Chains A and B, each alone.
Chain A
Amino acid sequence: MSARGETLLWLAQRASAAVLALCVTVHLATMVYAIQGGLSAAEILGRTRGHWGWLAFYATFVAAVAVHAPIGLRPVLGEWLGWRGASRDVVLAALALVLGGLGMRAVLGVFG
């Protein structure tokens, strides 16, 4: 890929990483707190249903993941599987859509 394309991917990867650093920290803390005494749907949904703050948080989280994971996978496919070229980027773009789609579905599922 061109110098500009790679630079854009690098920027997107680092920007999404910065967002994820915050999201993952909150997520890990929530998990350690929530797992105590076991998980129940009532407990999870009681925390998230109708709560706009959690909706905004998880929507941001999912968007950042949908950007971050495919870009991160790109050099792995190139270096470990020798898969480069346009077909790799098409599949990774599709992965971004799948992650974003499934993620938003999950966020909406626990919101309302």
Chain B
Amino acid sequence: MKGHPGYWAFLVHRVSGVLLTLFLPAHFIALGSALEGAAALDGFLAWTALPAVKFAEWGIVVLLAAHLAGGLRVLLLEFLPWRDWQKTLAALAAAASLGVGLAFALALAV
């Protein structure tokens, strides 16, 4: 039973969650390099200015926004009384992640 909005919301939520979990240790280690001084962190940040890395960063931000939106969907479904607006929720979740993705892409470009 695949291909309906709830299924896609579930799949995006799960895959983004797994990818974010894989990304987190790297993120923490990079920021932890600030322990060795600003120069070490700057060395890392110079690497993040590469276009390919920037694109990956954008992807991670979109994953984070998508996971947030998918999580809010689940919280609302589980804790609020509802009947007929579950598809609206899935659409809102998609729109919110898209919005954050656009905002971050614009900010990257500035």
| Residue pair B100, A41 in contact (C-beta under 8 Å) | no
Give Cα A24 to B22, complex, Å: 17
Known: A21-B68, A28-B100, A35-B104. A76 touches B18 (CB 8 A): yes
Give Cα A103 to B28, complex, Å: 5
CB of A8 within 8 A of chain B?
no
Residues on B with C-beta less than 8 A from A20 are 68, 71
Question: Secondary structure of the A side of the interface?
Answer: helix
Residue of B nearest to A35 (CB): B107
| Residue pair B38, A42 in contact (C-beta under 8 Å) | yes
Q: Mark B67-110, 1 if CB is under 8 A from A, else 0.
A: 11001101100110000000000000000000010011001101
Question: Secondary structure of the B side of the interface?
Answer: helix
**Chain B stretch 12-40: residues in CB contact (< 8 A) with chain A:** 14, 17-18, 20-21, 24-25, 27-35, 38-39
Give Cα A105 to B32, complex, Å: 6
CB of A31 within 8 A of chain B?
yes
Partner of A17, one of B24, B27, B71: B71
| Residue pair A72, B17 in contact (C-beta under 8 Å) | yes
| Residue pair B31, A99 in contact (C-beta under 8 Å) | no
Known: A24-B68, A35-B108. A98 touches B25 (CB 8 A): yes
| Residue pair A109, B107 in contact (C-beta under 8 Å) | no
| Residue pair A36, B110 in contact (C-beta under 8 Å) | yes
Q: Mark B38-80, 1 if CB is under 8 A from A, else 0.
A: 1101100100110000000000010011011001101100110
